[in-house]
Structure 1
Amino acid sequence: MTKSPENDRKDGQPAMHRPPIVSPQAWEAARQQLLVKEKAQMRAHDALAAERRRMPWMAVEQAYAFAGPTGMVSLLDLFEGRRQLIIYRAFFEPGVFGWPEHACRGCSLGADQVAHLAHLNARDTTLAYASRAPQADIARLKARMGWKMPWYTIIDSFDADFGVAEWHGHNVFIHDGDRIFRTYFINSRGDEAMGTIWSYLDATPLGRQETWEDSPEGYPQSPPYKWWNWHNNYAAEASPDQKWVEVSDAGEAAFRNRDAGAKA
């Protein structure tokens, strides 16, 4: 009797029970069946993000300060002139495994998957990291690991006050003039999915700011795709290129028709 490859294990581990091997037609049928559930999950995600945009805001009353590359800065300074701010508390400090050569392995994995921030900035949103390590150590770590996000030193009770003294997490803020509000908080396994432009924007009070979203009246919105750009070209273009408008219009129509077909 000839053994199948999955049963011929030489490492002492139990044999892997693989799924059935089927024809292309049967495989496509199985994919379509699963796609129905995936579409439902995506719509549930969109509905949850819409609910998140309606969360109450908490006023930040204390004047928090941070050490930055050029000196002391306030929490409002961390917005860098944009309306929204996401702060990730990364563990890089004495006593953390890896110090002083490395930050926490989990926080470092998260930092490795952060997308190019120009796209997030184009939606009036800033991402910043914060740790208790001195700025000299943070600069050395960023250079060694190739990380580009702004990274500040916590010097007061910010981490304790916002639930990240003992564990990592993303705190989301918005400001109205000089007034700052906390709008959301993600930690534990919720942090695992963070890193894409969409995961960050979906956590913010203004969302992706696209016309298809269910947002409260008066929230900033623009057509999907139109604002997308090369990461080094946002400053050069005040409005989308006409050719890109034509391409994105066609893509938007195709996806709209496909989504309508899935609902039928």
Structure 2
Amino acid sequence: MVLSTGLTGKEDMMEMSHGIVSAEEWQEARKRLLAQEKEFTRLRDTLSRQRRELPWELVSKTYRFDGPDGEQSLPELFDGRSQLVVYHFMFAPEWDAGCPHCSHWADSFDHAIVHLNHRDVTMVVVSRAPYEKLRAYERRMGWHFKWLSSGRSDFNFDYGVSFTRDQVAAKRAIYNYVEQDPGVSDREGISVFVRGGDGSLLHTYSAYARGIDMLNVD
């Protein structure tokens, strides 16, 4: 049952598009949605378990990064912890500023990283732009997390977030595990690494596009 609101114009259209009901009817509708939400939660728990059970890939290639501590290797980015999370921030070498969407998400990184560090996890941000550009933009935005340039290595290309001029022009590249038009030369993503007991470096997970929604903690 939809009740009359007495509203007119856009306000009336907005109200009527949802339907105005009694308290009893609202409770029943909310319970039906709650059942679906609970099912989604159970599915998410299952997916999280399957994510943890993924096999790990041995990282045999050497990568070098430029950052606030000078040149560092990928193992050095762990900063003594056993796990490393890398956020692939969209900032191509020729750009003068970082991606606005990545910037919105990065606004929450500083506080989140404090909690990750207490759980044996280091998180850093990596882009292809020269470190001088990253540092200038970081100061402009008021951030303090560790941001490094991978511009002198194949890191971004190997982990599926950067593409050649030919790939962009042809609108054909592998992004998010399928061939598609990447749109631009650099895209967003997240990659996770762990240190093996024997000191080996292992790649455990990468996600792109909507797969990185878990990082949006605003």
Q: Mapping of 1:27-38 within 5 angstroms?
A: 27-38=26-37
Of 170, 173, 193, 2:193 maps to 173
Alignment size in residue pairs: 188
- Summarize deviations over 1:199-227 as a string: whole Å, max 9, x none: xxxxxxxxxxxxxxxxxxxxxxxxxxxxx
User: Cα RMSD over matched residues?
Assistant: 2.5
Equivalent residue, structure 2, for 1:103? 98
Distance 1:175 1:195 in 2: 26
Equivalent residue, structure 2, for 1:240? none
- Summarize deviations over 1:39-67 as a string: whole Å, max 9, x none: 11011101111011110100000111101
Equivalent residue, structure 1, for 2:209? 188
- Summarize deviations over 1:106-163 as a string: whole Å, max 9, x none: 2212212435211111111111110122222222211221223211110200111111
Equivalent residue, structure 1, for 2:24? 25
Of 159, 169, 194, 2:156 maps to 159
Q: Report the secondary structure of 1:18's partner residue.
A: helix
Structure 2 unaligned blocks of 5 or more = 164-186
Distance 1:86 1:95 in 2: 25
Alignment TM-score, normalising by the size of structure 1: 0.65
1:127 maps to a residue whose letter is M
Change (3 A) 1:94 1:61: closer
Shift of 1:3: 9.7
Q: Mapping of 1:249-264 within 5 angstroms?
A: none
Shift of 1:84: 0.9
Of 136, 139, 157, 1:140 maps to 136
* Cα pair 1:90 1:129 within 8 Å, conserved: yes
Task: Report the structure, 1 or 2, having the larger strand content.
Answer: 2
* Cα pair 1:76 1:178 within 8 Å, conserved: no
Distance 1:4 1:136 in 2: 60
1:138 maps to a residue whose letter is L
* Cα pair 2:128 2:156 within 8 Å, conserved: no
Distance 1:4 1:94 in 2: 57
Alignment TM-score, normalising by the size of structure 2: 0.77
1:137 maps to a residue whose letter is K
Q: Mapping of 1:183-222 within 5 angstroms?
A: 183-196=204-217
* Cα pair 1:87 1:172 within 8 Å, conserved: yes
* Cα pair 1:112 1:147 within 8 Å, conserved: yes
1:121 equivalent in alignment to 2:117 = yes
Distance 2:84 2:216 in 1: 15
Q: Mapping of 1:82-93 within 5 angstroms?
A: 82-93=81-92
Structure 1: 4+ residue segments shifted above 3 A: 2-5, 93-96
Change (3 A) 1:84 1:33: same
Structure 1 unaligned blocks of 5 or more = 198-264
* Cα pair 2:127 2:148 within 8 Å, conserved: yes
Distance 2:5 2:29 in 1: 28
* Cα pair 1:59 1:179 within 8 Å, conserved: yes
Shift of 1:4: 5.4
